[in-house]
Amino acid sequence: MVEAVQGAGVVVTGAGGGIGAALARRFAAEGARVVVNDLDADRVKAVADEIGAIAVPGDASAVVGEARDALGGAVDIYCANAGVGSGGSEAAGEDVWALAWDVNVMAHVRAAEALIPGWLERGGGRFVSTVSAAGLLTMIGAAPYSVTKHGAYAFAEWLSLTYRHRGIKVHAICPQGVRTDMLAATGSAGDLVLQPTAIEPDAVADALMKGIAEERFLILPHPEVAGYYQARATEPDRWLTTMNHIQQKWEAGE
């Protein structure tokens, strides 16, 4: 059992399935009091009924107040997990870019704005951001997703460096492929890049619990991402050439 989780009031957004549902199940199993949120009211209610959580369906950007009421007090751990896997290039419509920015970045900002003052007042709180390895690296065929996941990672990093001395813990989860509906929707790009090493959502939950126990900011359910991230930082042209070869394979339908 993870001591920091036992008895904590936890909110998980995007919890109707996939990673969010796996996180919610694991928090409940660890003895937390869990609020689950999703736009799909039926799916999130099913998860809540399964694990004894409280369902608060609706927009993730507006869940904090209702979650506090449901928990009868403070939110101790907030998991900003809801996301959209917007594909496309620079030519993706502005509505596609706007939705990706709103869900993948601004929902995190709004949650932090609602939570940080109370956490500073009481001297603690924990913000968990489901980012993606795309936020450290990139993803072919998905400019809006890649760019906004970089933004989500940058915001989590900023929160951590700004507030860690005041008791606020931040974790950024950055998996590669995870067997979810979002992965299935990536089509041939996901088949090429992500499917070969895809893991189950429960493995992401396991990695998060280990990261919380060890108080680590960066959580890599696929450990090999650390090497890719290092290569990107130290040999950017070589790394970009490698990624471009993958791009060419995708374009060729290989």
Signed CA dihedral, 48, 51, 54, 58: sign only? negative
- The amino acid present at 215, given as its one-letter code, is E
Class of domain 9-252: alpha beta
- d(CA 6, CA 40) in angstroms, rounded, equals 28
Domain boundaries, the chain: 9-252
**Residue-wise pLDDT tens for the chain (254 aa)?**
899 999 999 999 999 999 999 999 999 999 999 999 999 999 999 999 999 999 999 999 889 999 999 999 899 999 999 999 999 999 999 999 999 999 999 999 999 999 999 999 999 999 999 999 999 999 999 999 999 999 999 999 999 999 999 999 999 999 999 999 888 888 999 999 999 999 999 999 999 999 999 999 999 999 999 999 999 999 999 999 999 999 999 999 97
Show which residues are catalytic: 145
CB contact at 8 A, 35 and 56: yes
CB contact at 8 A, 111 and 61: yes
In degrees, to the nearest 5, what angle opens at C-alpha 181 toward C-alphas 38 and 142? 100
Contacts of 65 by beta carbon, 8 Å cutoff, 6+ apart = 114
Contacts of 146 by beta carbon, 8 Å cutoff, 6+ apart = 134, 135, 138, 139
Assigned token pair, 78: 């907030």
